Amino acid sequence: MKELFDDVSFKCSKLVTKNYSTSFSLAVYMLSPSIRDAIYSIYGFVRFADEIVDTFHGYNKEDLITEFEEEYYKALERGISLNPILNSFQQTVKQYNISDDLVQAFLRSMKLDLIKSDYHSKEEYDAYIYGSADVVGLMCLKVFVAGDDKRYEQLKDEAMRLGSAFQKVNFLRDLKDDNLVLNRNYFPGVDLNSFDEKAKTQIINEIEEDFRVAYEGIVKLPIEAKFGVYTAFVYYKKLLKKLENTPCSEIGSSRIRVSNYSKAGLLAKSFVSYKLKLV
């Protein structure tokens, strides 16, 4: 009963999403039921790859990410994998015609985290963000437009800018762990050991511009996706505002979060805006 195994596989991807990110899980729940499983499967795939390079200390990360990639391509060829995360993802890739260049760009950025700790130019920074975040937005967009290539091309730039905004917020939020634990600095020209308001303001302004452009795409999304994506947009905007109001010293020494209570309030506010057709 392959159907039962596939169902279990997608439920595993959903479980990964719920356990690793309550905010993203909430946003996915706001999507139409017809596309939730596909988005869960994308998140499961990218989360496992990210965990390999970020948290599996004491293990051979190079071997793990290589094996993960090899097993993915075996799953894609065979149409099945005993790894439920790869099994669900390969089905989504085929169903929604997610191009291999997106998957490869993502895996390249993940592998960079194993060998590169500093990004000295905007070109390096942009290339990493494209692979680690923009292409994830494009994978999700493939699902949202359900094969409508014309709509995909129309919304492609905005989807990438939303991915960029989310990733840059994550960089700012995770400044402490990236600097002190992983010894990484993604922001070119910024000394994290003397991180100041000027540097923070410059980064925030860049993110705000990404959000501005991304919003123009959100309002054009199909009805099945619009509210869920808007929910994630509102959450990350709130997190960015909290980071903006947090002293640099605190960002560099602790992980800033939005409370569950605040998330519930944001969801209610988003729902009202959506129902009033303000989005």
| Residues of the chain below pLDDT 70 | 180, 259-279
Q: What is the pLDDT of residue 98?
A: 98
In sequence order, the β-bridge partners of residue 118 are 185
Res 122: pLDDT: 93
Q: How far apart are CA 270 and CA 13, in angstroms?
A: 26
| CB atoms closer than 10 angstroms to residue 26 | 20
**Residue 141, number of CB atoms within 10 A of its CB:** 24
Q: How far apart are CA 273 and CA 267, in angstroms?
A: 10
Residue 105: how many other CB atoms lie within 10 Å:
18
CA distances in angstroms from 126 to 120, 123, 261, 279, listed in the order given: 11, 5, 34, 29
Say what the pLDDT of residue 51 is.
97
pLDDT of res. 279: 62
Summarize the chain as % helix, strand, coil (round to 5).
80, 0, 20
> How many CA atoms are closer than 13 Å to the CA of 128, on its beta-carbon side?
24
Confidence (pLDDT) at 259: 67
Amino acid (one-letter) located at 278: L
Helical pair 197-218 and 149-173, crossing angle rounded to 10 deg: 160
